[in-house]
Structure 1
């Protein structure tokens, strides 16, 4: 994944250079038009789990969403882009919690909303010690590998960022925050 990202970044840099051939630039213009073309908004039948949440039989459903330059997807489209940290009920004073995007739908007002299943925290009765608790600067935590049975609606603005998940056993997973904390520009040295 990292190699693909690096190659795409190099290609974007090359396409932005003034010495890029005009034919290639024209292909970039056409590609950008296709990628950023508006998606038609037609209401479709709502799955039963989403109906239990929104109480509507039809809604505009999306497979992915771009918000502030970040792509979010439902888990059936792209698992990695569906794993998000979010503030429950938009409470910025609480700690963000991990969840998986099951559906992306439009509210009656047209706002795109995420239907998310939370990852279940490890219970106290598990007697499991989180090995990452002693490293407060390392944003990883041990969770159950199971998801909550019910969905909850969250606004995209409540999302902090993505996370990586590593299933370490059949019932436990390490969740590592990939949230952007700060921007440190990459400076290449010219020798």
Structure 2
């Protein structure tokens, strides 16, 4: 848990003095307790090197600014290109390709670009659209063609309408949401009840996605809270956002607007009555 907490702190998109100190403290806990828990584990240099990541967090900020994953992906792209089986100067090709694509992206996104360049950008976006954008576009195009169906009884008690247009999926802020009978993981959401940002976030599962006067709305079953007095094994790790909830969902449906949704969460049952709820969010705006 100390190692997981250290990784989560280091991967945050905004770095603060508190987070840097929390990272090095988690690594200290991990290294000091590892050999107590697992005496057979041999010392490795990377445990020492992990302490020095603190220095890089201080010098360069969040690790997304300087980690090697984008370059590793680019290496994979270059290795799959047709060649004469001669690797040549891979590092030089890597750097040239990275700089060329960065310049092209910047050139296409200039505010003062010529009209012909803006037209080229539209063509580029269509040519290299990812699968999510295609599905989102399909959803937007076909939504207006759907016909109302008889409202399910539990949904009728919420919206008081005899017929309703139901959806299977809906995109929102580059994320796809589904109802639970189609894709359970995509139905698990964190949201602000009533749209009140001052209230704690709630967890729930989407049971229906419907059009309410052409506005996409969610009917959600809230994840019930764990019973008072339930032991929380995650309390010593405040940077690991896991929370304990009951495995049961509220029988009553709750109306949730799309702009109230914060994001997805993962759910894992610890026992028959208790489950772990872990937010799947990027922390980039908080300033602790």
- Structure-2-length-normalised TM-score: 0.51
Computing the radius of gyration from Cα coordinates, the structure with the larger value is 2
CA apart distance, 1:123:
2.2
1:163–1:178 Cα contact (<8 Å) kept: yes
* Alignment match, 1:145: 247
Do residues 66 (structure 1) and 171 (structure 2) align?
A: yes
Q: CA deviation at 1:182?
A: 2.5
CA distance, structure 2, for counterparts of residue 159 and residue 44 of structure 1: 26
Select the residue among 82, 90, 115 that pairs with 2:219: 115
How has the CA–CA distance of structure 1 residues 140 and 33 changed in structure 2, closer, same or farther, with 3 Å as cutoff? Answer: closer
Please give the root-mean-square deviation of Cα atoms over the aligned residues, in Å.
2.8
Match of 1:106 in 2: 211
1:77 aligns with 2:179: no
Deviation string for 1:119-174 (max 9, x for gaps)?
000122xx311222332211101110000010000101001110000111111100
Flag the structure with higher strand content: 1
User: Per the alignment, do residues 111 and 130 of structure 1 end up closer, same or farther by CA in structure 2, a change over 3 Å counting?
Assistant: same
Q: Any gaps of 5 or more consecutive residues in structure 1?
A: 1-9, 19-25, 184-191
**In the alignment, is residue 96 of structure 1 matched against residue 201 of structure 2?**
yes
Quick check: 1:161–1:180 contact (8 Å CA) kept in 2?
A: no
Q: Separation in 1 of the partners of 2:265 and 2:132?
A: 28
Runs (4+) of structure 1 exceeding 3 A deviation are 26-29, 31-35
Please state if 1:171 is matched with 2:171.
no
What does residue 230 of structure 2 align with?
128
Normalized per residue, the structure richer in helix is 2
Q: How many residues align?
A: 162
> Which position in structure 1 is the counterpart of 2:256?
154
TM-aligned CA deviation for residue 91 of structure 1: 1.0
